[in-house]
Structure 1
Amino acid sequence: MDGACWIALLKPIMWLFFEPGLSPGEIIGGWEAKPHSRSYMAHLAIQCKEKTYICGGFLVSEKFVLMAAHCYGDKITVYLGAHNIKQQEQSQQKIPVRSRIPHPKYNRKTHKNDIMLLQLEHKAELNEQVGLILLPLAHQRVQPGTVCSVAGWGRTDALSKVLPDTLQEVDLKVLDNEACLKYPGGMYRNYNTRTMMCVGDPKEHKASFRGDSGGPLVCGKTAQSVVTWGPDNGSPPRVYAKVSTFIPWIQAMMRRLQP
């Protein structure tokens, strides 16, 4: 897949490859995170032909970052230990990506299996500002009603194109699958209960949105899902890739690339 670029260039205002009416992740209704309180967060600069875009990701081992497959570009650079991405913080580690491994059954039209591993060119230096996050057990389930959190450097308003300098975060509720299966207009007609999670109370103006794709939904101390897609207006609920479904694949890829 080297040389492929899945980031959309059709419309300048669209960040990633999505059907009309859908958009990738960002933070709406949140607040600035405490600096380096989420030491696992990765800020990703993605080169697609002559344009550069951003996504989120999270460090799961010293040499691997997990993120969304739709963030695949020609070149990806990982920044760890970042809080203010507009400043050259001493805590930041800039690491090139050696290998991009999207899930082999990722489908950009249906958004199924929207998950990807990045193998870093060299090990991250773990310290107070750069750390790992736990992954769930294989096929572990998060109960509806559980309040989790998501963070990223994406837009904080659906109508604004301005990106925040600092990491933002918000608390979101995990919903029953029916909330997405019965979403008006068939928006989530491709929703898969085995591989996806429905997240965000429609009564609250809080959601992930553009620029945040690939970041983790954290429940307790575990990365339970990956920010993927949702309505273009930023309204909840939105769909996340369920990490527990992919644990066997993640472990197999990490063993193969780094015995």
Structure 2
Amino acid sequence: MQQLLLLLAFFLAPKAQAGKLIGGHEVKPHSRPYMAFLRIRISDRKRCGGFLVREDFVLTAAHCWGRSITVILGAHNIRKHERTQRVIPVKTAIHHPNYHPKVNDIMLLQLQRKATLTAAVSLLRLPWRGEQVKPGMVCRVAGWGRLDLKTSTAILHEVELEIQQDEQCISCYRRHYNRATEICVRDPEMNQSTFKGDSGGPLVCDNMAQGIVSFGKKYGKTPRIEMKISSFLPWIERTMRRFQLQRPD
């Protein structure tokens, strides 16, 4: 999952520790019960996050696709066998039909069985159709991504990010930013950010999933881009309905 990180001294004096990344804090265990860790089988080692939106569906980023995906729910430390954890293989990975790298980067994972909801495993509410986040809103992103260029973590961390004017990302990414389907975020004061391993995790604003961690510049440099969930609600609802009606294997 792209994880939380951040650039403090990218342009420091030559003798300083240029490139040092910091940011984020460990969350209280199981206080983000909607979080899902994705164990992905692919040619190289890859990790992503996601979040439970229905007992049998996890929402994540399309670029987190792999030949075989297993979802771990109820986890805080993914290297430990916690009694709260529920490990469920993915039956079908459905990415958006118009997905291309950095475009429509959204995917639904249909689980092989329904997750049992507990204090450590619960759903995250999606926004209403047409609902918009506004610049200045402070939201949060959790994940198991890198804490800096060399430091990985097994423990769930979180950062707070502020919604930015679309122009911030338009000037930075130009044609790679689409205000209709994407959200621009950053933390200009603390230099917090998402980073490698955090992809697919939710941007949570007022206890509601508004975005999906997608992409950004190298080294966790901000601003970053999230997929705007409200723009994809018709596809999400239609896809979950269609696959629910399919006959089981």
The TM-score with structure 2 as length reference comes to 0.89
Equivalent position of 1:118 in the other structure: 109
Equivalent position of 1:45 in the other structure: 39
Q: Which is worse superposed, 195-204 or 171-180? A: 195-204
After TM superposition, the structure 1 = structure 2 runs for residues 160-179 of structure 1, keeping only pairs within 5 Å, are 160=150, 162-179=151-168
CA contact (8 A) 2:71 2:88 kept: yes
After TM superposition, the structure 1 = structure 2 runs for residues 152-231 of structure 1, keeping only pairs within 5 Å, are 152-157=143-148, 159-160=149-150, 162-183=151-172, 187-231=173-217
Equivalent position of 1:58 in the other structure: 51
The TM-score with structure 1 as length reference comes to 0.86
CA contact (8 A) 2:2 2:144 kept: no
Counterpart residue type for residue 192 of structure 2: K
Larger Rg: 2
Tell me, what secondary structure is at the counterpart of 2:176? coil
Regions of 4+ moved over 4 Å: none
Equivalent position of 1:25 in the other structure: 2
Gap regions ≥5 residues in structure 2: 6-22
Residues 218-241 of structure 1, C-alpha deviations (whole Å, 9 max, x = no match)? 001100000000011211110000
Deviation at 1:204, TM superposition (A): 3.0
Equivalent position of 2:11 in the other structure: none
Deviation at 1:189, TM superposition (A): 2.7
Equivalent position of 1:18 in the other structure: none
What is the alpha-carbon distance in structure 2 between the residues aligned to residue 189 and residue 101 of structure 1?
A: 26
Gap regions ≥5 residues in structure 1: 1-23
Counterpart residue type for residue 164 of structure 2: L
Residues 17-40 of structure 1, C-alpha deviations (whole Å, 9 max, x = no match)? xxxxxxx82101100000000000
Cα 1:33–1:62 change in 2 (3 A) is same
Tell me, what secondary structure is at the counterpart of 2:230? helix
CA contact (8 A) 2:137 2:162 kept: yes
CA contact (8 A) 1:198 1:239 kept: yes
Equivalent position of 1:150 in the other structure: 141
Cα 1:74–1:188 change in 2 (3 A) is farther
CA contact (8 A) 1:175 1:201 kept: no
Q: How many residues align?
A: 228
Deviation at 1:188, TM superposition (A): 4.2
Equivalent position of 1:8 in the other structure: none
Deviation at 1:164, TM superposition (A): 1.0
Equivalent position of 2:238 in the other structure: 252
Tell me, what secondary structure is at the counterpart of 1:46? strand
What is the alpha-carbon distance in structure 2 between the residues aligned to residue 113 and residue 165 of structure 1?
A: 29
Deviation at 1:139, TM superposition (A): 2.2
Tell me, what secondary structure is at the counterpart of 1:87? coil
